């Protein structure tokens, strides 16, 4: 991409590369999990590009540690949010009668399944 844009447009080449990578990774997860939940796209294309430009001129140990902590936190965010959406798709009713809208709208955002509450003796409250 850098060769296509030339040396004057290095920032554009980096941005397009990150966005293209985010789209491909999101497509792979969408096909594997059969859900559309654009967390990876937002973190790659948004936070990833911001971090690249923000830390590019910095070469200190502190910035390196900050980058590694961000990578570890990102993995935790991916695991939590994608597993929440996956199990919401299994256990919650569809959000819309339209199948396309049901695919696009995350069920974990508006799934309020009321679970039965038992008291200490096993009787429904």
Residues recognised as catalytic: 25
51, 70 in Cβ contact below 8 A? Answer: yes
The CA-atom distances, in angstroms, between 17 and each of 2, 62, 78 are 9, 26, 21
Distance CA 71, CA 102 (A): 31
Distance CA 70, CA 64 (A): 10
């Amino acid at each position: 991409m850098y060769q296509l844009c030339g040396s004057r447009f290095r920032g554009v080449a980096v941005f397009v590369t990150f966005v293209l990578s985010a789209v491909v990774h999101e497509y792979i997860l969408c096909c594997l999990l059969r859900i559309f939940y654009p967390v990876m796209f937002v973190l790659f294309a948004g936070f990833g590009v911001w971090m690249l430009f923000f830390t590019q001129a910095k070469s200190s140990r502190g910035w390196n540690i900050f980058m590694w902590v961000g990578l570890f936190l990102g993995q935790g965010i991916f695991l939590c949010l994608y597993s929440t959406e996956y199990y919401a798709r299994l256990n919650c009713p569809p959000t819309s009668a339209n199948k396309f809208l049901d695919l696009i709208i995350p069920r974990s955002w508006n799934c309020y399944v009321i679970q039965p509450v038992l008291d200490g003796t096993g009787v429904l409250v």
